[in-house]
Amino acid sequence: MSGAQRGNEPGTGESDESSAPRQASTPVARRTGSAGRSALRILILEDEPTDADLEQRLLARSGLEFTAVVVDTRASFVQQLAAFRPEVILSDFSLPGFSGEAALKIAQEQCPDTPFIVLSGALGDEAAVELIRQGATDYVLKDRPARLASVVRRAVAEAGQRAERAQLEVQLQRSRRLEGIGRLAAGVAHDFNNMVGAMLNYAAFIRGQAAERAAQGIDKEAWDGVRQDAEQIEGAGQRVIQLVRQLLAAGGQQLVRPELIDLGQVVTGIEALLRSTIGRHIEFQLTLAPQLWPVTADPGQIEQVLLNLAINARDAMPAGGTFSIEMQNVTVDQAERTPHPGLIPGAYVCLRVHDNGMGMEPEILEHVGEPFFTTKPFVEGGGLGLASVYGIIGQAGGTIGISSESGIGTAITAWLPAKPDAGPVRA
């Protein structure tokens, strides 16, 4: 699921080419072919209807699927930038009361990533070049309109690549940040482990001695009290050890015993536990593709991941809902768009969990996975669930994607490198 909704279709809907002369400043929308949701949204700023028409004919003839809105005033241009959210802008050079130059400035403020292509008439090259200098993406001379379609295609493709790179950069920064915090947490965890280990040993020593004295009958009550106090210390120490385990997992530094496993067997092995964890008020759906490829991971850790994800889904759906787990084989190849930025080509088993719970606001989503980041009331070990999920999947060489929309739900996807040729894994 992605929070991004595809754009509103322009309110004017489809318009017949031969319809009555439109009122100036009323945006006119036209769709080509069987253009569906993937049709390119083009905003055309043009006061000369025959020019606007010619541009659309040329684009349509080139096989481009698009939805166009034509505007010819500053007000309607500004309004349609927001309402129509064009993916490319075609702008005339001069219009009555407005200009390509002024439109470029507005577009640069409102949607700096949207390609802006200038169509210039009589003024010719020089003026167009000046607009390029000011940041326009490209220009087409009106007396040589044949280039239009290829210019549009190239501008859109390049904008797409830039957007993908930007997304990848954000992703990388995020995983670096998480890695850094995780390492820090794991470093602290190692120290805790040693200190708590010493405390547990001494507490056990006191407990043993107290039990011995009590058994001898000297001051029995007092020694029983000492023994109970020592047991309290040991109990608290054990909880610290648990916490430390999760911290180490968050830092991707838990001791692991990786083996070749079938993720489907791991999940069915704890299916009953997962069901009882989420409770009766939540529907549980498990979809396993047949013959999942083996992956190399520690099965105990994968169980930890699934449990943490199930607990979060339960907490996100206090009034019930559906929690689903899906697993399937996925091949990411060079030519295709990768399903996640930064995912290198190869074979993966894709594990996806989904809930239709409360979801997250973008400010929350930005921080999930950081150790101790939580929006829940204080509990021991709060805010370590997703941190350990990230740590564990990272340690197994996998990649995680998370998408969430407030009020709609959350989907978390992990891609674990698979070994398709390794043969079936024994149960």
Ligand X SMILES: Nc1ncnc2c1ncn2[C@@H]1O[C@H](COP(=O)(O)OP(=O)(O)O)[C@@H](O)[C@H]1O
Q: Is 359 in the site for ligand X (CB under 6 A)?
A: yes
Partner whose footprint covers residue 313, from Mg ion, ligand X, none (CB < 5 to 8 Å by kind): ligand X
Structure tokens at 378: 């204080």
Binding segment toward Mg ion, per CB under 5 A, in 36-44, 242-250, 281-289, 379-387: 379-387
Q: Is 376 in the site for ligand X (CB under 6 A)?
A: yes
Partner whose footprint covers residue 373, from Mg ion, ligand X, none (CB < 5 to 8 Å by kind): ligand X
Q: Is 382 in the site for ligand X (CB under 6 A)?
A: yes
Out of 364, 380, 397, 407, the residue judged to bind ligand X by CB under 6 A? 364
383 Rama class: left (phi>0) / alpha (psi -120 to 50) / beta: left
Which of 344, 328, 324 lies closest to 336 in space, CA to CA?
A: 344
Partner whose footprint covers residue 244, from Mg ion, ligand X, none (CB < 5 to 8 Å by kind): none
Gap between the Cα atoms of 128 and 118, Å rounded? 7
CB 389 to ligand X: min, Å: 7
Out of 375, 380, 397, 422, the residue judged to bind ligand X by CB under 6 A? 375
Out of 357, 385, 391, 398, the residue judged to bind Mg ion by CB under 5 A? 385
Q: Is 192 in the site for ligand X (CB under 6 A)?
A: no
Structure tokens at 275: 């069901």
Site for ligand X in 210-269 (CB under 6 A): none
Q: What's the 3-state SS for 353-413?
A: EEECCCCCCHHHHCCCCCCCCCCCCCCCCCCCHHHHHHHHHHHCCCEEEEEEECCCEEEEE
Q: How does strand 138-141 pair with strand 116-120?
A: parallel
Binding segment toward ligand X, per CB under 6 A, in 93-101, 111-119, 260-268, 354-362: 354-362
Cα distances (angstroms) measured from residue 150 to each of 129, 139, 154, 237, 329 = 18, 11, 6, 68, 37
281 Rama class: left (phi>0) / alpha (psi -120 to 50) / beta: alpha
Draw the binding track, 310-349, toward Mg ion (x: CB under 5 A; -: no contact): --x-------------------------------------
Nearer to ligand X, 362 or 382 (CB): 382
Site for ligand X in 293-332 (CB under 6 A): 308, 312-313, 316
User: Reduced to 3 states, what is the DSSP secondary structure of residue 180?
Assistant: helix
Partner whose footprint covers residue 383, from ligand X, Mg ion, none (CB < 5 to 8 Å by kind): ligand X
Nearer to Mg ion, 203 or 386 (CB): 386
Gap between the Cα atoms of 34 and 66, Å rounded? 9
CB under 8 Å to 14, separation ≥6 — which residues?
29, 30, 31
Binding segment toward Mg ion, per CB under 5 A, in 61-69, 174-182, 308-316, 365-373: 308-316
Note the residues at the interface with ligand X (CB under 6 A): 308, 312-313, 316, 355, 357-360, 364, 368, 373-376, 382-383, 385-387, 410
